[in-house]
Every structure is written in C-alpha cells, then in structure tokens.
Structure 1
C-alpha cells in the first residue's frame, strides 16, 4: 500500500520515508480498512465478522492465530481450492519459509500486488546505504534453479569485476558464510577459468553460460594469479577485503539468531562494516534500519506502517527466569501504542490473506523515528529445548553458545554453525549440541582439545537459566550436556536435506533445534567426536536482563 513513487530517485525515496513514518496512525487505520473491505467476502473474514468491518469488531471477533491454526486454509488452497477462502486477490505463489525444526516448511501466500510492494519497500532503504547499487552478476544467474551452478557463476562474475564491487552480501549472515565456504572449496577452479578464459564444463545451465560469457571473454592470467595468491595464503582472515578491495560493507541480516555469525563475518571481512538493512519475513516485509552503519548490537528497525497492519502482544519483562512465558492476560496494543523498553511479540495482518497472525518474533522498542516505533530484534518466542519443566528459548541457547565459543579463540578455532536436540534415550535425558568447527589457519589443528570442549559444555550449562541448573544440579532430572563435533560440510548436508523437503534457499536458516528423525540420523553420521560436561553448574536464581 505504498504510494506510487520513483524508486530510482533517492530524493523521492527519502521523502516518502519521512511521510510514512510521520503519518503512522492514519496509515495503519487505512491499511486495516483496506484489508478488511477488500477481503470482506472471503470465507475466513466473513465467518468471523459477518459484514462488521470496523476496527473494534476486528479486534473482538478475529482470533489471534499461529500457522498451525491457519494451516488447513493454506493446505486447501495449495490443493486446488479457490484463493477466495482467505484472499480476494489471486494468490500468485506460496513462499516456503524455513519451518526446519520438524522438517515441514510453512507455505506463505503471496499476491502479485504484494510482491510489487516488497520491491518498492527495498527502494526505501537503498539511498541510506550507498548511492550506487549495481548488481555485478546478471539477474538470470541468481535465479538459476541449480544452486551450485548459480553460486559458482555469481562468484566468477564477482571475481572478474573485483574492482567494481562496492558491497557484498546475502539475505542472511549464514547464507553469506556459505558463499565464503563455497569460494574456499572452488577458488582454484575459478582461477583456472579466469586464466583460460573458459568456464568449467559442468556449468551447463543456459542462463549461467550466457551470463558469464559477458565477462569471461578472454584469458586473464594476471587476475587469476592475484586471486590465487590471496586464496592460497595460510589464513583467510580479511579474505573479503583482500579479494574485493573496494567493498565498503557486508550486507546481511545479523540480528536475532544471525548474531552468532558476527565473529565469523568480522574474521572474513577484515573490519568491513556489517550492515543489516531491513527486517522482514516470508509473511511480511516490516521495517528498515535508518542508521545502517550502526554497530550490530545497536541495530534497530523502523516499522514501515504501509506494509501490513501490525499489533503487538506484550511479553512479560519484570520477572525471574522461571516465568518466561507470555503473560496469562497479555495486552494487545496497536503500533502507535507501544512503549519504549517494552517487549512484544509481533502480530501481522496482511493484504495476502493472513489475519492476526503471530509471527513468533519478540521485539523490544528502542525509540521512534518521527512517529514510527523502532525495534530491536530480541529473538524468537520459541522453546527450542525442554526435558522437564525447563524451557530453553532460542535467545538463551544462542547466548550460552556464544559464551562457550570464547573458549575456542585461544586455540585458533571457530564455531562455523550449530544446532541442538534433546536426547531422551538416556536416563535422565540431556541436551545435545552439534558443532561444526573451523580453523583460522590452514595448517592449524582442527581436532579440539578434550579439556577445552568439556569446559565448553560446562560453560553452556552455566549460561542457562536457574530452572535448568537446579534440575541439573540438585533434582538430577537432567543429565550432563553433550557437544558432538561434526565433520566439515555437515551443515551443508543438513541444508540440502531441508531444501529437498521443500524449504526455500533464500529463506533457509539453520534450525537451532532439530526434531526430524531423518535429519538427526544424517547429523549423527557426521559426528567425529563427543564431549560431556564434567561438572555440575552452580545454582542460584538471578534476574534476567534479556527482556523477555
């Protein structure tokens, strides 16, 4: 519902940004009115509102739902029933969001109009980062269905035009690191292509071959030798800056679960600023970072009120660790009524047929840009591990693992990725973490010291809440935490597994817990060493400051 503007005109973009962040209440009321009036005759809306399309009836009669509450409608449309079940406009496609914990992706409806709005949304923050944003590789390459060929050819185009690359990035920090890993595996072959002026024979997709041919027109042994010299050095520290000397930033989402990858981005980036431009999801594009050069820990997103109707379910903050669930009678407030310092779970109503849909993201209000609230992304309102009455949330697990990985730094080891599960085959049950490790130096030792890893196990436990620590130390209802180190490439295998089950590559994020038995069997097959916590954690209640 963004007004028409010229997305190529930076002044027009900035002017619109000022307008939409000033007239927030009017825009939100208009958005809700437009959504309800447009979709009044759908089975879903008419079933709850029966023609009463005012805001009060909407809030009183429409339930707040999760995807599981809504799944039957989505499945019916996906199986051929009319889109008018939930939306007046034709649904152009379903986006497959991650949904990786249990192995079943969510299908998110999207209309053609909504896709256009998302393109316009991206134009709003473009002038805030750099004036000149040129895509180095042809668009056709980035849409190649063969992800390996597409990634290879995008890298080849980027290397051939290394002097013209002003920024590098990917949708998420994790996906950017997968590009770096891919480069590490293929740099020798890429240099050979540049040296001979001929792309590898396994590149067979037409759009890749034709796209690369625009730049790989003649042998360039000098460039090949330069890249080869950098990639063959003992350490890949600052490799991004060394290969692309004119790059000014790494652009990717680095908040929430992506924050764990910041040390890796800093290592490979060699001090390049990390820019997290926008906040959104498969369901809805939501906010932009109007201060893109802020430090990762200070990133806040300004809500763009035109993109959907936003409500906020207050999350308790003033409590000890044992009470981290949403309040029994939580307050649901509008966008203009949120309070600085408070935490909320985001509820969205979209033009594409989602109504009062709990996104599961917890946001903390940090301030306002004009009249539009700004939010820090706290994390997912999701329990990832639980054995007894313990509840370990995604945010808690990330912080605990981050604390533990500090012990790896003196040994020149890095945590590349991780996931977790609960193992109830033992008595008592215990938490299991799967870690993929990497070396800072090519000739460094990858086999971790057992004492260091056991201390990592203990540090994770010490970092979890008092309920876990009490059950572990005194009640003996939880056994020692275990870290299983997996071989290099294990998380690429995990990604490929979930992609084969329907997850979207552009939306894929490593699940912080895995319950799918087939995926777990695959992970177990990659385990190279196992370590258990050798000490019981301390126990004393302590106030939480994370904001939940």
Structure 2
C-alpha cells in the first residue's frame, strides 16, 4: 500500500497531473510521513549497535575494494586540518526537486538531506499536529542568488513563500519581500528561518517599516526597493492581491507595540523553526524569545558541520536543542577536550556522557578525517547513539597571547558587564584582535577591540567601559595575568549605531552564522564606520 500510494503521488507531482492541490498535499504528506516512520524505525535499530553502522558507512565513503576497517583507515590517513567548509551555511543549500523514486529509496537509502527532512516532518507533525497544513509555513531565508532548501523541502505545498523571493541578491530586499508574503497569511502555523539572524532582521524591518508594509498589503503591490530587480518585482507582485482587512490588522497590532507581536499577528502560530540556534546565534534566539516571539517555542531541527548534515533534533519541545548523531550519515571521530599532546581519536561508540569533544569527520568521499572546527558536549544517549549539544566554534576564539577565550565564555562575560550598565540591553556585538588593525592600533600592547550595539544607552563612561575588561580578568585568570604583566593591553569598547549589524551580515556575502571574531579587514572597516561613541 505504501509503495503504491508513494509512487502514484510522486509520479503525479513530477508530471504535473491535474490533482486537486489540497488532496495532493494530503496524499503526499501521508506518504512522506509513512516513509519517515519507516526510516525512524530503522534509525532505532541502527542506534542499538552503532559500530556496524559506522563501519558500513566508512566502507561506502572509501574507494571500492578498500580493505580493512576503521582501525586500518585511521592508520592510513593522518588527521586533517580544519575543513575549508567548516563555516559553510547551515543546512545543505539547494536541493533538487523530489524525484518519483527518491521517496521510496529513502526508506532504505543513505541520503542525509532527504532522510533529515523526513524525520523533521514526522517530528514536527507529532509535536504540533496542525503544523503541516497546506500553505501554513512562511519562510524567511536568504540564499545569496539561489534559494536555499527549506527544512520541509520534500513537501513544497507546505510553504506560502515564493522560492524566488529568497534568491534576490540583496539580503535586506529578500527578507522584506518574504516578510510581506508571510504577513498575507493570517493562518500561519509555522514561521521558519534559515538562521535566527534572518528572523531577527526581518522583524526589525517590521518595527521600522510596518506602515509601508501595511500599504503594500492594502494595495496588493510590491513597492520598489534597493536590491530588488524590476523584473523580479513584477513577477512577485503578480502573486499579490489587495487585502485591506489584513492591512488594517497589521496597523492595529503594530500600533500597540512589539512585545509578542509574532503571536498577535499570527494567532494560530504553533512554533518557530530555525535551522541553527546555538553558538553565535543564541543571542538572537534569546532576544526574540524575550520580545517579538514571546510565548512561542523555538525548534532547531538539524545539526550540520563542515557542509554535511550530521544530526537531528527529535525533541522539539525541549528548550535546549539536542541532536542525535545519525550513525549512517557520516563516519565520526572525536578528540577529547582539552587536547592532548598526541591526539588520539575515539569513535562514536566510545564517548562519555558530560564530556566535550572536538569533531573529526569523514562525510564525503576523498575528504578523510577533517577537523570540523566544532566542539560538542555529550548530553546523553539514545540507546548507543550519542545525543550532543554544540558548544563552540574553534575559529571564534579570541587570543592575542595564547590565552584562548572561547566565544561562549566571552559572551557570558559581556552579558555580565552589560548588566552593570543601568538601562542597557545588548543587541549585538563583534570582537577584533588588535593585529587586524595594523598601524591604526597604535604603539600599544596587543589587545581586544569590541564593537557593541546597545538599546537603552547611547554612551558609556570610561569607568563603565572598563567593566568589561574587569569581568574578563575575573573570569579568565590567564588573561588577568597577562594584563598585570602588561603583555596584553586594556580592552577598547566601541558603541555602534542601529543597523550596523544587518549591514555587516549583508557584507558577509552568504548566509553564515554570525562571526564573533572578525578576521577580514573589509568587515573591520565597515563596522568601524558605524561607531557613534
């Protein structure tokens, strides 16, 4: 029965047979959920004994006829450097349309993007029964010239957002257009974003531009804007229709303020889905949960590193995202933290709960034993399979004298300092090591420069600025020692104006998690040009 329905639906969709849209959506959803259930049962079996699964995956990743198992593989190949795609966008980029047989093959195949999306749809439907309604999901995701596949891409009728809107070259224009299409649909069940920064910046656009958005809704038009080509604007505008009632509702709700605005604009919304919600993106999730998205659960379904999909979150209602590392998606190795002088990796079945490990991946043929540049904490186990929490990115460590301050611990120190500034709330921040400044840093000892955007405060006294340096000294004894010796100079803190960080994210050129330590001079010059104090 499953095979017959799946084939019929997939073929009908592929060849464009005249199927009633609502019926097509329900049939395809049913078939996808059945396929997901089958793979979920298989995953339960694989999780019961991860070692054979890992050995099979490793054999598929090596050239045909390669002899030996994981021990021989580790002897033949030395540990690689950090993977060049370690900072690649989350998710898996552009995914081709679902082919008629792909759904069936997914039941016993090893295609992580398809299997990951099937597990996402199954998990989302189980936790939020109305979440898979046709046209009930709005997408806020920028693809830098090519649309990125949404989390539920095998079920395209899920989305009310035109794919072309996410492919606009301008990030700001793409998010504004997608926001307008989301505002048309009062009955949204799911609001999905590729990154929390994209949702954060789209809602910032709502705060500043809601009169113009309301006018566009009332007239059924798409206003000209920088970065939106006229031919693209014409095609997207053809999909709009005047809606004076919805425009009036938008004006009324925005006129009341913006706390909880998401739930008020979309009263049937059940969940906010973000593809990455850890590390540098946690700041935006916290800000959204406290204000615009107050009262709504956040669900981060996937864990990705080094350009590969590695894990899935099967617990959408838990506040801290945890990911099951799927044993047939990649061959995993782990370096215990802190690092040893002669590092020896351990395998998926050899981890200890509560410990931290650096991730080493073999996820693609030819890319063997690449350091992913990520540190994970083992939060528990599902049968034998580890459930992990991402801790930090190794590329985002501050160090001018070898003191090594990780991004998540610097963030905690910064939040503690901001708490000492009456009325201040942290909006965003980046750091720079003084070596990047060159001669402009002056003839002083190496130091950090920190650029922050605050709400509720437009200037700081020298004493207040020093609080951050003081917090770092209290939290990091090695930093305090270097400061006492004078080999590290005092931290310099700069306030930037509103809108500085969206411009910085646009300048990154691709949808990456926010870098907390800038390594490029052009990005440094951009943020320096926005300093107000």
TM interval, shorter chain, is 0.7 to 0.9
* 2:516 is aligned with 1:519: no
Q: Could you say what the CA RMSD is over the residues aligned between the two structures, in angstroms?
A: 3.0
Find 2:451's aligned residue among 406, 414, 434: 434
Going from structure 1 to structure 2, the CA distance change for 1:254 and 1:292 (only over 3 Å counts) comes to: same
Secondary structure of the 2:53 match is: helix
Going from structure 1 to structure 2, the CA distance change for 1:57 and 1:172 (only over 3 Å counts) comes to: same
Deviation at 1:351, TM superposition (A): 2.9
Give the count of matched residue pairs.
453
Contact 2:110–2:328 (CA<8 Å) still a contact in 1?
Answer: no
How many Å separate the matches in 2 of 1:382 and 1:201? 39
Find 1:121's aligned residue among 96, 99, 116: 116
Secondary structure of the 1:307 match is: coil
Q: In the alignment, what sits opposite 1:399?
A: 412
Deviation at 1:256, TM superposition (A): 2.1
Going from structure 1 to structure 2, the CA distance change for 1:515 and 1:115 (only over 3 Å counts) comes to: farther
Secondary structure of the 2:222 match is: coil
Find 1:311's aligned residue among 330, 333, 339: 333
Deviation at 1:53, TM superposition (A): 4.8
TM-score normalised by L of structure 1: 0.75
* 2:340 is aligned with 1:327: yes
What residue ranges of structure 2 are gaps of 5+ in the alignment? 1-5, 8-30, 97-101, 103-108, 133-157, 435-440
How many Å separate the matches in 2 of 1:150 and 1:8? 31
Going from structure 1 to structure 2, the CA distance change for 1:403 and 1:243 (only over 3 Å counts) comes to: same
Q: How does 1:349-498 map to 2 (within 5 A)?
A: 349-382=362-395, 384-407=397-420, 411=423, 413-423=424-434, 425-438=442-455, 445-450=456-461, 453-454=464-465, 456-458=467-469, 460-472=471-483, 474-498=484-508
How many Å separate the matches in 2 of 1:148 and 1:518? 20
Deviation at 1:60, TM superposition (A): 0.4
TM-score normalised by L of structure 2: 0.77
Single out whichever of 171-180 and 57-66 deviates more from structure 2: 171-180
Q: What does the per-residue CA deviation read over 1:240-297, in whole Å, with 9 as the maximum and x for residues that have no partner?
A: 122222212222222222222233111221121122222113521111122111123x
Q: In the alignment, what sits opposite 2:20?
A: none
Q: How does 1:136-215 map to 2 (within 5 A)?
A: 136-163=160-187, 165-202=188-225, 204=229, 209-211=234-236, 213-214=238-239
Q: In the alignment, what sits opposite 1:20?
A: 46
Find 1:283's aligned residue among 307, 310, 314: 307
How many Å separate the matches in 2 of 1:469 and 1:195? 59
Single out whichever of 391-400 and 452-461 deviates more from structure 2: 452-461
Single out whichever of 488-497 and 452-461 deviates more from structure 2: 452-461
Q: What does the per-residue CA deviation read over 1:193-250, in whole Å, with 9 as the maximum and x for residues that have no partner?
A: 1111222244546566445533x22x222211211122234x4221212222221222
Find 1:342's aligned residue among 331, 349, 355: 355
How many Å separate the matches in 1 of 2:449 and 2:324? 37
Deviation at 1:362, TM superposition (A): 0.7
How many Å separate the matches in 1 of 2:368 and 2:402? 32
Contact 1:37–1:53 (CA<8 Å) still a contact in 2?
Answer: no
Going from structure 1 to structure 2, the CA distance change for 1:463 and 1:221 (only over 3 Å counts) comes to: farther
Find 1:244's aligned residue among 253, 261, 266: 266
Going from structure 1 to structure 2, the CA distance change for 1:231 and 1:111 (only over 3 Å counts) comes to: closer
Going from structure 1 to structure 2, the CA distance change for 1:147 and 1:386 (only over 3 Å counts) comes to: closer
Secondary structure of the 1:419 match is: strand
Contact 1:7–1:124 (CA<8 Å) still a contact in 2?
Answer: no
How many Å separate the matches in 1 of 2:230 and 2:59? 46
Contact 1:384–1:392 (CA<8 Å) still a contact in 2?
Answer: yes
* 2:72 is aligned with 1:57: yes
How many Å separate the matches in 2 of 1:232 and 1:353? 57
How many Å separate the matches in 1 of 2:168 and 2:319? 34
Going from structure 1 to structure 2, the CA distance change for 1:278 and 1:117 (only over 3 Å counts) comes to: closer
What residue ranges of structure 1 are gaps of 5+ in the alignment? 41-50, 72-95, 100-104, 317-325, 439-444, 530-548
